[in-house]
Structure 1
Amino acid sequence: MEETEHRLLRRTWFPLARIEDIGESTVTAANILGTELVVHRAGGRITVADGHCPHRGMALRLGTVRDGCLECPYHGWLFEPGTGRCVEIPSLPAGTRPSGISLRTYPVKEAYGHVWSCLEDDPYLPFPELLGYGEEGWSYAYGNPTELACGMRQITENLRDMAHFPFVHTGTMGPHVRREVSPYEIKRDRWDMEWALETELGGTALGGHEALANRQTLTYRLTLPMAAYVRTSFPDGAGRFIAQFATPVNAEGTRIRHFWIVGIDRKVSTGPHAVSLEEMWEYERQIFEEDFPIVENQVPAESPLDVHSQVHTRADKYAIVFRRLYRELLDEFAAAGEPPSS
């Protein structure tokens, strides 16, 4: 990963964990770009903090929450939620107030069913907006996070690649998915991309539910660098929503943690098809798991920003635009004279 991109991603919001996985006494390990973090709920709030105690570098993922504070498992030091201020050192006399000792904490947002954070206090890009998320009549479920040996751009491009459906997803979508990808146009608004495509699944997907397994329109949206989502419109007006996020977990950008969301409206869960949110969650889980060995076995492990280093067809138009737009973002960031992070 080049230095400019590394500095940009340090100032980017990334998901760390599902909100539902953050308990009242447990500590969850997380990572952005090789910086180990912990996520915990204490004192009525979620805190993201450095992953190691400032005293002797103990891994705080092995700690717990006691008296509303994060407790180091080595010497029992207690750190206040939100601020990270050390409030108790058990080896000192009772009542001793530690001065000037803090565990570094990071910005926190709870959005789209996940806890998000940023390694710097001044994010360069706005927090990603998922258009249509949370509309009345929709219900959502959140996928199991998975660590993968691939780059952030690699898996982001994969979500929007319709040409691979008939070859990678025969187990979930069936053997009759339309192969040809129609021409399409991409709308760009600053660092957002949008386009729509029709496809035909051939009637066998989702157990052959006719209204969900044949013709459908997919409207793709992407907010750089990696917030990708798609809204599917079925012939009867029913809708499905899929979102995917990727958090780089090593400094080289060759490993990511994958997060996803599935949503359905009332028409999907009622009427002749009557597919429940749980059934749709399981269906999408299987689709993503079909993708994982693909993205982990591409060379290079991250999509190149040089559009001339790989061959493209008209079906890959989104990838060409995405790579060029990403390079434009990096160039703008570099031109702004952003100093290297300390």
Structure 2
Amino acid sequence: MFLPVNNTQAKPAMPPDSGFSESDWNVLSTFWHPVALSSEVTDKPAGVRLLDVPVVLYRTPEGVKAARDVCSHRGAKLSLGSIKDGLLVCGFHGFHYDCAGVCVRIPALPPGSPVPGKLRLQTYLCTERYGFVWVCLASTPRADLPEWPAIENGSGTVAVVPVSTWQSSAARHVENFNDICHVPWVHTGTFGGPEEAIAPYDVSISETRLSFQADVTEQVRYADNANSDAAPVYRHAVYSYELTLPFASSVKVFDPKTGHVYRIYDIASPVSARSTRIFQVVVDESRLTPAEVLIDFTMRINAEDAPQVEAQSPNQLPLDLRDEIHIPADRMSIEYRRALARLGLGEQAVS
């Protein structure tokens, strides 16, 4: 009910009720994660969660800013407040905070009274790119944002997919996105091809990225096969995957017959240890498909994937390779788990 009278201990950055181990949280907090669509942060503050931390986003003349969603006066949620003249205003007592998180006005004080210097927010690094707002909870990011020039260079039709939330760990989602073994079984209503053996492939490994390429037989995309009795039409495609650690993936789908290129970008943002927001952008370089069709098709794919991923046991991704059985087609999955372990993840179990 109460905190101690002599509550002088330093406040840890990780929330005390977090589902992450301290070591995992400390690693993941050093990376950039998307937390909202840029279009969601307008003339009102927006509340989000990242790694169990409540974050308020607010747009100022200097751009979108991020801070812990707690007013330093009485612990109110700042996302319940407003934005006035570029300042974040707490909806409980009207305290005004500038773009640096410094309190610059307290309406209850007489004019000319000084504002206590301790009245400032815990702010976070924040930037916008690819139509997303990204936040890093650490003072110094461990790595840059992924480089995805096709989203910005005008090479094709760009479609930003509505954000969805999966009740799974971020790493389980990422592993599924980069897995070609499940495609014929899970994606029967979208792009899944016939049952066929998967040829061995190599994974290219660098400090921050994993990549591989595979030849795949898939259904012709954008056809609504879910409610059709007609036999699916197949085509040969080349899938080129690239994974930027820890949770940002992309796949380039190349049709060698037409020369068309279709790209999917996917980032899993860890709301908590068992809840993940999925941010996606699709780029169709053929320009033959409207953005709304690209979005609808991607959402149908997600609807096929989510129930399988959410039902996986355990929900968390095992980083000890002895915990699950592997086959040659799991090469990417194996290297992903090894890469996460090299980052320092999985070193301490949740107590």
Q: Secondary structure at the match of 2:113?
A: coil
1:213 Cα shift?
5.5
Alignment of 1:273-288 (within 5 A): 274-288=288-302
Larger fraction in helix = 1
Partner of 1:249: 271
Q: Out of 263, 283, 287, which is 1:263 matched to?
A: 283
- Kindly indicate whether the alpha-carbon contact (under 8 Å) linking 1:88 and 1:96 is maintained by their aligned counterparts in 2: no
User: Structure 2-normalised TM-score?
Assistant: 0.85
Q: Distance in 2 between matches of 1:116 and 1:280?
A: 24
Matched, 1:54 2:72: yes
Q: Secondary structure at the match of 1:196?
A: strand
- Kindly indicate whether the alpha-carbon contact (under 8 Å) linking 1:165 and 1:177 is maintained by their aligned counterparts in 2: no
Cα-Cα RMSD: 2.1
| Larger RCO, structures 1/2 (Cα 8 Å, 6+ apart) | 2
1:12 Cα shift?
1.2
Q: Secondary structure at the match of 1:145?
A: strand
1:200 Cα shift?
1.2
Q: Secondary structure at the match of 2:143?
A: coil
Matched, 1:163 2:163: no
Alignment of 1:128-143 (within 5 A): 128-130=146-148, 132-143=150-161
Q: Quick one: structure 1 residues 138 and 314, their matched pair in 2 at CA, closer, same or farther if it must change by over 3 Å?
A: same
1:178 Cα shift?
4.5
Task: Spell out, residue by residue over 1:132-184, the C-alpha distance to the aligned partner (whole angstroms, 9 max, x if none).
Answer: 4423422322222222221111000000111111221112226x534332221
- Give the aligned residue type for 1:313: I
Partner of 1:296: 310
Task: Spell out, residue by residue over 1:188-239, the C-alpha distance to the aligned partner (whole angstroms, 9 max, x if none).
Answer: 122211111111124475348xxx9521111000011111111111231111
Task: Spell out, residue by residue over 1:255-301, the C-alpha distance to the aligned partner (whole angstroms, 9 max, x if none).
Answer: 22221111111x2x2xxxx3212211110111012111111100010
Q: Secondary structure at the match of 2:211?
A: strand
Q: Secondary structure at the match of 2:24?
A: helix
1:95 Cα shift?
4.0
1:242 Cα shift?
0.7
**How many residues matched?**
319
Matched, 1:127 2:141: no
Partner of 1:329: 343
List gaps (5 residues or longer) in structure 1: 335-342
Matched, 1:8 2:22: no
Q: Distance in 2 between matches of 1:32 and 1:55?
A: 23
User: Structure 1-normalised TM-score?
Assistant: 0.87
1:33 Cα shift?
1.3
- Give the aligned residue type for 2:170: M
- Give the aligned residue type for 1:186: V
Q: Distance in 2 between matches of 1:2 and 1:106?
A: 21
Q: Distance in 2 between matches of 1:288 and 1:202?
A: 16
